[in-house]
A = this chain, B = another copy of it.
Amino acid sequence: MGRPRDPALDGAILDAAQALLEEAGCSGFTMEGVASRAGTGKQTLYRRWPSRGELLIDLYYRDPMPPPPLDGPLAAALDGFLELNLQRLYHPWHQNLLRSLAVAAQEDAALKAVMLARITRPRLELGRAIFRRAEAAGEVPAGLDAEPILEGAIGAIWFRLLFTEEPVTPALKPRLLRAMLAQARGPAPGKGTG
When distances are taken between beta carbons in the complex, the residues of chain B under 8 Å from A75 are: 193-194
Given contacts A145-B178, A156-B155, whether A27 and B194 have CB atoms under 8 Å apart is no
Of A59-67, A125-133, A157-165, the stretch lying at the interface with chain B is: A157-165
Q: How many residues belonging to A are interface residues under a CB distance threshold of 8 Å?
A: 54
Please determine whether B182 and A186 come into contact, CB atoms closer than 8 angstroms. Answer: yes
A:67-115 near B, CB below 8 Å: 73-75, 99-100, 102-103, 105-108, 112-113, 115
Given contacts A182-B185, A186-B182, A191-B139, whether A148 and B176 have CB atoms under 8 Å apart is yes
- Identify A155's interface contact among B105, B159, B181, CB under 8 A: B159
A interface residues (Cβ-Cβ under 8 A, vs B): 26-27, 73-75, 99-100, 102-103, 105-108, 112-113, 115-116, 120, 139, 145, 147-149, 151-160, 162-165, 175-179, 181-183, 185-188, 190-194
